[in-house]
């Protein structure tokens, strides 16, 4: 049996007619920037997230950048984040002129170790960006406590965690602000790039909205310089069709994770993801840790099973961060994870037969 890593076609099949109708409506309406669909999507996502307001943006990368800028972060400041994330998280910090301060992971998990965060705080630290990687909520209580103690801003990177819950509430509702991504493979994926920002302080969100639209208050009236980071009308119209399905899609991902946990149980060499008590992960990625990743990946490929690696490098070893002089060996937990992790197929439309085929192939590799 061929098992794809991701099958967006199957996921979209039941809502295909509605997606086509929405796209055609925007095309025929000839209103492509801003407008009713963007406004309606922002309101619908706000209601779903349980917050008063959402600001649509062009992508999470620019959303993070805009948020940092609007909190006044820039040259001379330091922002702490995880060394094991998509480059976008770190890139958005550097783009403001602030210094990225990387932290290692908590052993056995893929998220920031609060003990490491506490060690990295200096008088220059202005913010912490916890990333809810793979849809697993980060240790928010501990991170928020450090932030309270040192008066730091917490910006949650929810790019991979739309709908995940921490102590009953959706992630994103804990920090001073949170950023979401609608990159097509995300749990709420669009049909191109897209993202959203929320913030506790309405004045900050207003500024982020303005910053994302050239700092303007009205046509040709610009209060400050910003960037072009608007959510497209066509993306908003399509995301409105997808949003009501996210909770159901996330539940299906959790079901696939449960099938994997059951099917891989007892294989000594395979470490399956741990769930932190009082969290509800949404398995954007289902990542196992094995001693011989390359060989297992090759074996699964020979069995028509697609896999991924998220990520093959921790950010500290990349040429982009050579200037930080924190080469190999600086973040042992993250670096070990990068060498041993393997992402198994995971998507809401995946069947029990497909999950069983993956588990059977892994078991055959570790007889
Ligand atoms: C953790 C994390 N943060 C930020 C981003 C950036 O998202 P976008 O592609 O919408 O800019 C991504 C996307 O891969 C991500 O995984």
- Are 238 and 250 in the same domain? no
Determine, yes or no, domain membership for 1. no
- Are 232 and 297 in the same domain? no
- Are 297 and 155 in the same domain? no
Q: What's the predicted TM-score (pTM) here?
A: 0.98
Q: Ligand 1 centroid to 269 CA: how many Å? A: 31
Question: Which segments of 97-201 does DSSP mark as H helices, in order?
Answer: 114-120, 140-150
- Are 342 and 208 in the same domain? no
- Are 214 and 360 in the same domain? no
- Are 236 and 332 in the same domain? no
With DSSP H G I counted as helix, E B as strand and the rest as coil, what are the percentages for the chain, rounded to 5? 45, 15, 40
Q: Ligand 1 centroid to 365 CA: how many Å? A: 33
Determine, yes or no, domain membership for 180. yes
Determine, yes or no, domain membership for 143. yes
Nearest Cα residue to atom 7 of ligand 1: 60
pLDDT tens for 154-200 read: 999 999 999 999 999 999 999 999 999 999 999 999 999 999 999 99
Determine, yes or no, domain membership for 86. yes
Q: Ligand 1 centroid to 265 CA: how many Å? A: 31
The domain total for the chain is 2
Where residue 268 sits, what CATH number does that domain have? 3.90.1150.10
> Cα–Cα distance between 207 and 205 in angstroms, integer?
5
> Which burial class, exposed, middle or buried, applies to 122 when counting CB atoms under 10 A from its CB (0-12, 13-18, 19+)?
exposed
Q: Which of 224, 244, 264 is the last residue of a domain?
A: 244
- Are 67 and 203 in the same domain? yes
Q: Which of 199, 217, 244 is the last residue of a domain?
A: 244
Nearest Cα residue to atom 14 of ligand 1: 86
Residue ranges in the chain modelled with pLDDT below 50: none
Q: Ligand 1 centroid to 179 CA: how many Å? A: 9
> Cα–Cα distance between 367 and 245 in angstroms, integer?
39
Determine, yes or no, domain membership for 2. no
- Are 63 and 148 in the same domain? yes
pLDDT value at position 59? 98
Determine, yes or no, domain membership for 253. yes
Q: Which of 193, 226, 244 is the last residue of a domain?
A: 244
pLDDT value at position 5? 98
Ligand 1 site residues, Cβ closer than 6 angstroms: 59-61, 85-86, 88-89, 131, 157, 159-160, 181, 183, 193, 195
For ligand 1, mutation pick of 172, 183, 308 (most atoms within 8 Å of CB): 183
Q: Ligand 1 centroid to 310 CA: how many Å? A: 12
- Are 202 and 320 in the same domain? no
Q: In which domain, by residue range, is 43 found?
A: 8-104+111-244
Q: Ligand 1 centroid to 86 CA: how many Å? A: 6
Torsions phi, psi for 320 (to 5 deg): -60, -25
Pick the atom of ligand 1 nearest to 131's CA. Answer: 1
- Are 194 and 258 in the same domain? no
- Are 290 and 220 in the same domain? no
For ligand 1, mutation pick of 58, 60, 132, 235 (most atoms within 8 Å of CB): 60
Summary mean pLDDT of the chain:
97
Determine, yes or no, domain membership for 322. yes
Determine, yes or no, domain membership for 139. yes
Give the list of residues 6+ apart from residue 336 with CB closer than 8 angstroms, or none: none
Where residue 83 sits, what CATH number does that domain have? 3.40.640.10
pLDDT value at position 152? 98
Torsions phi, psi for 103 (to 5 deg): -130, 150
- Are 336 and 290 in the same domain? yes
pLDDT value at position 367? 84
């Amino acid at each position: 049996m061929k098992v794809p890593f991701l099958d967006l076609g199957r996921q979209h099949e039941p809502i295909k007619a509605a997606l086509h109708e929405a796209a055609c409506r925007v095309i025929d309406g000839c209103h492509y920037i801003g407008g009713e669909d963007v406004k309606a999507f922002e309101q619908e996502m706000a209601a779903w997230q349980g917050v008063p307001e959402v600001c649509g943006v062009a992508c999470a990368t620019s959303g993070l950048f805009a948020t940092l800028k609007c909190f006044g972060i820039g040259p001379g400041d330091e922002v702490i984040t995880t060394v094991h994330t998509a480059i976008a998280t770190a890139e958005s910090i550097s783009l403001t002129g602030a210094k990225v301060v990387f932290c290692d992971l908590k052993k056995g998990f893929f998220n920031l170790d609060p003990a490491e965060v506490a060690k990295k705080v200096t008088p220059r630290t202005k913010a912490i960006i916890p990333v809810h990687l793979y849809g697993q909520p980060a240790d928010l209580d501990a991170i928020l406590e450090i932030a309270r103690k040192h008066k730091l801003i917490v910006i949650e990177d929810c790019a991979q965690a739309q709908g995940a819950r921490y102590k009953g509430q959706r992630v994103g509702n804990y920090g001073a602000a949170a950023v979401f991504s609608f990159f097509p493979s995300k749990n709420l994926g669009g049909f191109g790039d897209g993202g959203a920002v929320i913030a506790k302080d309405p004045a900050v969100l207003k500024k982020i909205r303005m910053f994302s639209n050239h700092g303007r208050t009205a046509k040709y009236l610009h209060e400050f310089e910003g960037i072009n980071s608007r959510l497209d009308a066509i993306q908003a119209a399509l995301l409105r069709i997808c949003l009501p399905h996210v909770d159901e899609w996330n539940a299906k991902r959790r079901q696939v994770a449960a099938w994997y946990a059951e099917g891989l149980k007892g294989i000594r060499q395979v470490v399956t993801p741990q769930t932190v008590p009082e969290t509800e992960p949404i398995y954007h990625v289902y990542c196992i840790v094995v001693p011989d990743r390359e060989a297992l990946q090759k074996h699964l490929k020979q069995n028509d099973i697609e896999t991924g690696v998220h990520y093959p490098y921790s950010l500290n070893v990349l040429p982009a961060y050579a200037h930080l002089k924190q080469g190999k060996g600086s973040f042992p937990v993250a670096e070990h994870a990068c060498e041993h992790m393997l992402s198994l197929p995971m998507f809401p439309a995946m069947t029990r037969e497909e999950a069983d085929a993956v588990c059977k192939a892994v078991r055959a590799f570790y007889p």
